Amino acid sequence: MNIAQKLFNRGVDLIRIFQSTGNLRSLFTAIPVNQQVVRLTPDGHPHKAIRVNNHAISLQYRFECTGDVSDLDEAILIQQQAVQLTPDGHLTMPMQLNNLGLSYQIRFGRTANPSDISEAISNQTRAVQLTPDGHPDMPTWLNSLGNSFCSRFESTGNLSDLSEAISNQLQAVKLTPNGHPEMPGRLNDLGGSLHSRFEHTGNHSDLSEAISKKLGLRLQT
């Protein structure tokens, strides 16, 4: 096993420790390890994109802990590189696109820059388009896309964005198996969007549907 692979494995282990314990020392140690892995992995290496993406994820985690937007800015640049390094048709492409879209969505929440939420929607739409029907990750991509449309609606008030949000969130719920750990969150997202549309249109069917989703959420939790 070469040094880059050993360091990659160490970086993965450190991130797992952080995820399970919240130990910031593990996270802060993982970042320079992952950075070195990227430096040691030559262009054209079959695992380059995954290693680049792991480095971006560790930076995003640090942003979430510290609020330092420079970490998020760097994560986005690195995730763009990961997408560029991923061949067309590769199985990980939808995941890379969704991760990039989520980072843009998070940054939009801090900066309110319209280009960030447009990039989020563009990348997440591609993730959905490239994912075959029946794929277990499809509900995740759909819900992420729906949430981005909802974020743009909250900024612009454009009801067409809210309709897109509801359409994608509804599909995500339909494709999520009963008892799935993500079902409560998806029901909550959909119920919130339906309630928002009721507040803007006065359509009582949206309110009834929102209440139904909230009741479903209670049964799921």
What are the pLDDT digits (tens) for 126-170? 999 999 999 999 999 999 999 999 999 999 999 999 999 999 999
Q: pLDDT of 68-113, one tens digit each? A: 999 999 999 999 999 998 888 889 999 999 999 999 999 999 999 9
User: What is residue 202's predicted lDDT score, i.e. its pLDDT?
Assistant: 78
pLDDT for position 70: 96
pLDDT of residue 61: 94
Amino acid 215: pLDDT: 56
Give the model's confidence band at 64: pLDDT under 50 very low, under 70 low, under 90 confident, else very high.
very high
What is d(CA 191, CA 11) in angstroms, rounded to the nearest whole number? 38
Q: CB of 123 within 8 A of CB of 103?
A: no
The model's pTM is 0.86
Express each pLDDT in 108-133 by its tens digit.
999 999 999 999 999 999 999 999 99
